[in-house]
């Protein structure tokens, strides 16, 4: 039986977030499919310009290689990581995100990196948080560029981006304070029941936070983003949409911001809605936008499912066993705190 989650004195069943995620996904899919001639999807896929599809898939696969390079660079001052092991952890984590709800893959990839490299799990999580912080700033910059030449961006999306921007700047301020005021931070965390875990995180962030490492990691993050934009742009060309590379960046940023909250596996439904609304800002006809949303979804998810399944098979475990091990790892960290 699922354990309840306690929030502000009340107890909520642990299955509730999953149910909400699936409900959001279902509602979004209904919206996308309403009035959409689903029979046109297969002919549209067959009519794609496949040389552009191949470029899109190659760029998308390169995203994960650059992700592994970035993670190794970020943790370089702390531990020497094996590149292909890092890439394998990333593939498995992303594969889990496509088949499990609530973005469980983030937990799994951090656990695997820690397990395979004798690294503290708390420090693996801290490095992943720094990655997301850097990604957030690059995505925010991309969105602002898009917003500068596009009118009619939904007010709800603007509010969400503003809120995320505030969170990003607060996170960056906290990181800078930890890096440059290590002694004061140690005094603060010494009073916490998590003092041992937090002390290791502070030490790791202090090492990762040097200017050279952060600067190089940020540059690799820009490459990481550019490859994602190239994937979207190539798929637009494959489908026949006459839109620029900058528009592809804007569409990607809007989709990423709209799907920032963990929900159903692969963000199914919400992903399509965000893509349709983003393309609508650039005057793409609604049915064309719906078709492209499925094309982009399948073109990016199918290679990941194949690569992820192979990466999982190499471990000799299934994805459920990896999830359970990762959860036990987190429980061990909590019990040791």
Mean pLDDT lowest for which of 52-66, 89-103, 156-170, 185-199? Answer: 185-199
List the one residue out of 149, 147, 148, 166 whose CA is nearest residue 157.
147
Give a yes or no: residue 6 inside a domain: no
DSSP state letter for 103: T
* pLDDT at residue 152 greater than cutoff 90: no
Domain that holds residue 299: 39-336
The number of CA neighbours under 13 Å toward the Cβ of 119 is: 27
Residue 300's pLDDT band (cuts 50, 70, 90): very high
Contact 95, 105 (CB under 8 A): yes
Residue 42's pLDDT band (cuts 50, 70, 90): very high
Give a yes or no: residue 329 inside a domain: yes
* pLDDT at residue 1 greater than cutoff 80: no
Indicate the pTM of the whole model.
0.91
What's the pLDDT score for residue 106? 93
Give a yes or no: residue 33 inside a domain: no
Helix, strand, coil percentages in the chain from 3-state DSSP, rounded to 5: 80, 0, 20
| Dihedral pair phi/psi, residue 5, rounded to 5° | -105, 130
Residue with tokens 């875990």: 197
Distance, in Å, from the CA atom of 110 to the CA atom of 149, rounded to the nearest integer, reads 38
Give a yes or no: residue 19 inside a domain: no
Could you write out the DSSP letters of every residue in 43-85? HHHHTS-HHHHHHHHHHHHHHHHHHHHHHHHHHTTT-PPPHHH
* pLDDT at residue 2 greater than cutoff 50: no
Give a yes or no: residue 13 inside a domain: no
Give a yes or no: residue 14 inside a domain: no
Q: Which residues pair with 13 in a beta bridge?
A: 4
* pLDDT at residue 73 greater than cutoff 70: yes
What's the pLDDT score for residue 262? 79
What's the pLDDT score for residue 115? 94
**For the chain, what is the domain count?**
1
The secondary element (H helix, E strand) that includes residue 10 is strand 10-13
Give a yes or no: residue 180 inside a domain: yes
């Amino acid at each position: 039986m699922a354990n309840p989650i306690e929030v502000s004195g009340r107890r909520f069943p642990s299955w509730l977030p999953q149910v909400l995620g699936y409900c959001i996904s279902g509602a979004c899919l209904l919206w996308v499919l309403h009035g959409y001639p689903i029979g046109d999807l297969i002919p549209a896929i067959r009519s794609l310009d496949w040389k552009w599809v191949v470029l899109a898939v190659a760029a998308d696969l390169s995203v994960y290689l650059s992700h592994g390079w970035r993670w190794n660079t970020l943790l370089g001052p702390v531990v020497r990581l094996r590149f292909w092991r890092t890439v394998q952890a990333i593939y498995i984590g992303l594969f889990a995100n496509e088949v499990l709800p609530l973005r469980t893959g983030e937990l799994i990839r951090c656990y695997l990196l820690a397990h395979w490299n004798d690294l503290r799990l708390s420090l693996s999580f801290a490095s992943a948080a720094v990655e997301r912080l850097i990604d957030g700033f690059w995505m925010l910059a991309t969105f602002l560029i898009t917003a500068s030449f596009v009118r009619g961006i939904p007010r709800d999306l603007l509010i969400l981006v503003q809120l995320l921007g505030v969170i990003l700047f607060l996170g960056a301020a906290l990181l800078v304070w930890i890096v440059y005021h290590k002694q004061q931070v140690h005094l603060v965390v010494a009073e916490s029941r998590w003092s041992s875990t937090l002390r290791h995180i502070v030490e790791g962030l202090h090492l990762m936070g040097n200017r050279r490492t952060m600067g190089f990691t940020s540059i690799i993050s820009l490459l990481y983003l550019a490859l994602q934009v190239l994937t979207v742009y190539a798929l637009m060309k494959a489908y026949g949409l006459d839109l620029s590379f900058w528009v592809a960046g804007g569409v990607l940023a809007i989709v990423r911001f709209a799907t920032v909250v963990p929900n159903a596996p692969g963000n199914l439904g919400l992903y399509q809605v965000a893509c349709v609304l983003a393309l609508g800002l650039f005057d793409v006809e609604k049915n064309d936008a719906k078709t492209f949303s499925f094309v982009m979804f399948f073109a990016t998810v199918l290679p990941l499912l194949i690569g992820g399944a192979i990466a999982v098979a190499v471990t000799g475990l299934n994805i459920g066993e990896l999830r359970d091990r990762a959860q036990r790892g987190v429980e061990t960290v909590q019990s040791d705190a």
